[in-house]
Chain A
Amino acid sequence: GQQVMQIPQYQHVQEGEDFTTYCNSSTTLSNIQWYKQRPGGHPVFLIQLVKSGEVKKQKRLTFQFGEAKKNSSLHITATQTTDVGTYFCAGRSFGNEKLTFGTGTRLTIIP
């Protein structure tokens, strides 16, 4: 079945440093979504990417979808304490209703 892996599993950064998490799927995806889960909270949708090579930005966050539609990345510029949490990618294969989540990257910020 479809597998979605994320690296790294954990990332500790000084406040103000950049952060990147990478997502790789075993199959070609129709689209990929990113979610953020604050400690003790529930996942909250951030963005969806659909097109090959697509790049989207939300303030300090930059999301990319690979040309082959099998990988994606999330980059945060100049991290802030509000960025703390676990970031998940989630991919959907063509014709498939199911959304498969990656293992997540837990980001902690050192003030």
Chain B
Amino acid sequence: NAGVTQTPKFQVLKTGQSMTLQCAQDMNHEYMSWYRQDPGMGLRLIHYSVGAGITDQGEVPNGYNVSRSTTEDFPLRLLSAAPSQTSVYFCASRTGQAHTGELFFGEGSRLTVL
């Protein structure tokens, strides 16, 4: 099983550019989420989805958009990149049962905004 697949692994953007981080899972998980990881800040939740067609904001949603048109895919869009969005981004998924579900993480996407 591939598990959770993120692309690209590395990306350099200029301020103001847009891009999409892709995330796909093949475990039929209902819940998917995006986190960003910065030194000393742990993992902070950006957006999450409890199923196709349903998305909601996490702790740090500003500057990011998401959509969930299928169970498998949960792309994260940066409409106008800013240097403050330089970070490592992780996509994670789990089964729909919140009281039992461990998160499965992708390998991460390292984004640098100049």
Residues of A within 8 A of B59 (CB): 1, 100
Residues of A within 8 A of B41 (CB): 103
Binding stretch for chain B, among A12-20, A44-52, A53-61, A74-82: A44-52
A44 touching B105 by the CB < 8 A rule? yes
Per the bound structure, the CA–CA distance linking A48 and B48 in Å amounts to 20
A97 touching B50 by the CB < 8 A rule? yes
Fill in one digit per residue for B15-42: 1 if any A CB lies within 8 Å of its CB, else 0: 0000000000000000101010000111
Question: Which single member of B42, B58, B90 contacts A42 (CB below 8 Å)?
Answer: B90
Per the bound structure, the CA–CA distance linking A45 and B43 in Å amounts to 14
Whether B103 is near chain A, meaning CB under 8 Å from some CB there, is yes
A102 touching B107 by the CB < 8 A rule? no
Residues of A within 8 A of B35 (CB): 101
Once A42-B107, A97-B31 are accepted as A-B contacts, the answer to whether A48 and B102 lie under 8 Å apart by CB is yes
User: Can you list 19 residue pairs at the A/B interface with Cβ under 8 Å?
Assistant: A33-B102, A33-B103, A42-B90, A42-B106, A43-B43, A48-B102, A88-B43, A90-B103, A92-B99, A97-B48, A97-B56, A98-B45, A98-B48, A99-B103, A100-B45, A100-B59, A101-B43, A101-B44, A104-B43
A48 touching B50 by the CB < 8 A rule? no
Residues of B within 8 A of A98 (CB): 33, 45, 48, 58
- Nearest 5 interchain pairs by C-beta: A45-B102, A101-B43, A103-B42, A42-B105, A101-B42
Apart from the given pairs A42-B105, A90-B103, A103-B41, 18 other A-B contacts in the complex at a CB distance below 8 Å: A1-B59, A6-B42, A9-B40, A33-B102, A41-B107, A42-B107, A43-B43, A43-B90, A43-B92, A44-B105, A45-B103, A48-B102, A50-B99, A99-B33, A99-B45, A101-B42, A101-B44, A101-B45
